[in-house]
Amino acid sequence: MTEHLIVVGLGFGDEGKGAVVDALCAQAPTTAVVRFNGGAQAAHNVVAEGRHHTFSQYGSGTLTGVPTHLSKHVLVEPIALATETRELTDLGVPDPLSLLTVHEDALLTTPLHITANRAREDARGTNRHGSCGKGIGETVWYSLLTGHTPGDTVEHQRVLGTPGEAPTVGDCLRPTTLRRKLDTLARFYEPLIGTGTPVDDLIHLYKSFADAVRIVNDDHFHTLADTGRLIFEGAQGVLLDETHGFHPHTTWSTTTPRNARTLLAGRPARVIGVTRTYHTRHGAGPFPTEDNTLPHPELHNDSGTYQGSWRTGHFDAVLFHHALTHARLDALAVTHRDTPATHYATAYRSGATRTTTLPTHDRTHFLTTCTPELEPFPHDWFERQGIPIAVEGHGPDRTSYTVRT
């Protein structure tokens, strides 16, 4: 039976998952890359054969000709998808949409969600959560409101209007249903963002989207899984997980392998966790080892309007082992080997207490007040962890990656 691969990030995102997926697709035949969490906020950089692309909704195997399946756990944003399709066409990928299938139950992210997301993040001022401003959390939150009424509080946000059913990709095939859901969505968000979003334009756009992509059901995924090797490409990292991350600076998404394993329904799979040789963070949130004086150039990441600044710090063994606990790896992928770490955090001090593990409660507060203990980083530290290293990256290009059998 085919053994599938699940690729997850072990940090705050930006670990190099895209380059790892690209290298794996180039190394052996792959039936499809399956996205199993997140949405259009993903930014996975691949450099290969003189081409560079930042993958958002397409899988990072696209430059090798591997199809993408957006599963029911992905949030789909058709406007951003159209832009990415044009970019891939300009890079020489023939008919990118022919490589794409989308599950009918995937939630639809609309301009209404995006505008509401940005309005909430702007209102937080200096207490920003670090949102990407792509409507991810808002899309998930609205989908949780069935049965709630104005005045209720759901996931720490007050319900201001009367919610309806969340729009899905499958609704793009049913204009009457889609219009009903979008009209309700627009009325719901009026207290927060006002009026002005033309629902008629969205109906026309989403009909064109439905005409252009192949919208599928569960049977399609099961056929893929039983045909050949799938690579599941995770978005963001375990340290941002909605359950195991550090609130409120988390994503509205499951970043562990859980969704992928649910889709596989018992089919065998190996989990590969991706880490840099040092830690990074994009936007707000605790970062104990942050040190922006580190000489680590970043070619393809920069500060974002809503996410905030690009941050760099020493490798953190405490956070690394926290991620391992929830990812349950079979192998590691270590990127940025060409930028070796000089020091790493082996423990934290909080007052007179020294600890090598995170507390059970108030973890966010703890991480913002603790002091990391830094020691010289052994060059063979990853090899000592008792986890096989399946992939190594020594630079940004595919030729800089080594895949071990």
% pLDDT > 70, the chain: 95
Residues 231 and 85 placed together within one structural domain of the fold: yes
* Statement: residue 108 has pLDDT above 60: yes
251 is in an annotated binding site: yes
**Closest to 196 in 3D by CA, of 112, 118, 139, 271:** 112
49 is in an annotated binding site: no
* Statement: residue 333 has pLDDT above 60: yes
89 is in an annotated binding site: no
Among 14, 22, 241, 316, which one carries the catalytic annotation?
14
Last residue of some domain: 190, 213, 236?
A: 213
CB 319 within 8 A of CB 343: no
- Per-residue DSSP letter, 291: -
Residues 127 and 184 placed together within one structural domain of the fold: yes
pTM here? 0.94
- Which pLDDT score is estimated for 134? 82
Last residue of some domain: 213, 232, 256?
A: 213
Calculate the average pLDDT of the chain: 92
Residues 141 and 34 placed together within one structural domain of the fold: no
Rounded Cα distance, 136 and 368, in Å: 25
Residues 30 and 15 placed together within one structural domain of the fold: yes
- Which pLDDT score is estimated for 249? 85
Looking at residue 207, its amino acid is K
- Which pLDDT score is estimated for 252? 83
Residues 10 and 88 placed together within one structural domain of the fold: yes
- Residue 321 falls in the annotated catalytic set: no
- Which pLDDT score is estimated for 129? 54
φ/ψ (deg, to 5) at 287: -155, 80
Among 4, 44, 73, 314, which one carries the catalytic annotation?
44
Segment 323-349 mean pLDDT: 95
17 is in an annotated binding site: yes
Q: Which domain holds residue 32?
A: 4-102+218-403
CATH of the domain at 208: 1.10.300.10
- Which pLDDT score is estimated for 372? 97
Rounded Cα distance, 248 and 286, in Å: 10
- Residue 44 falls in the annotated catalytic set: yes
Q: How confident is the model at residue 356 (pLDDT cuts 50, 70, 90)?
A: very high
Strands 230-237 and 353-355: unpaired
Residues 306 and 392 placed together within one structural domain of the fold: yes
236 is in an annotated binding site: yes
Residues 261 and 331 placed together within one structural domain of the fold: yes
- Per-residue DSSP letter, 131: -
* Statement: residue 128 has pLDDT above 70: no
Residue 45 CB partners (closer than 8 Å, separation 6+): 18, 19, 52, 53, 54, 55, 299, 300, 301, 396
337 is in an annotated binding site: yes
395 is in an annotated binding site: no
CB 31 within 8 A of CB 61: no
Tokens of 60: 């990072």
Residues 260 and 371 placed together within one structural domain of the fold: yes
Tokens of 198: 């033309």
Residues 388 and 246 placed together within one structural domain of the fold: yes
226 is in an annotated binding site: no
- Which pLDDT score is estimated for 301? 61
Between the CA of residue 230 and those of 57, 73, 233, what are the distances in Å? 17, 16, 9
Residues 181 and 310 placed together within one structural domain of the fold: no
Segment 345-370 mean pLDDT: 94
Please give the tally of structural domains in the chain.
Answer: 2
φ/ψ (deg, to 5) at 107: -70, 145
281 is in an annotated binding site: no
**Closest to 348 in 3D by CA, of 264, 287, 305, 303:** 287
Residues 136 and 194 placed together within one structural domain of the fold: yes
CB 172 within 8 A of CB 166: no
Last residue of some domain: 213, 231, 256?
A: 213
Residues 266 and 373 placed together within one structural domain of the fold: yes
234 is in an annotated binding site: no
14 is in an annotated binding site: yes
- Which pLDDT score is estimated for 248? 87
Rounded Cα distance, 10 and 237, in Å: 5
pLDDT in tens, 129-188: 556 668 898 999 999 999 999 999 998 889 989 999 999 999 999 999 999 999 999 999
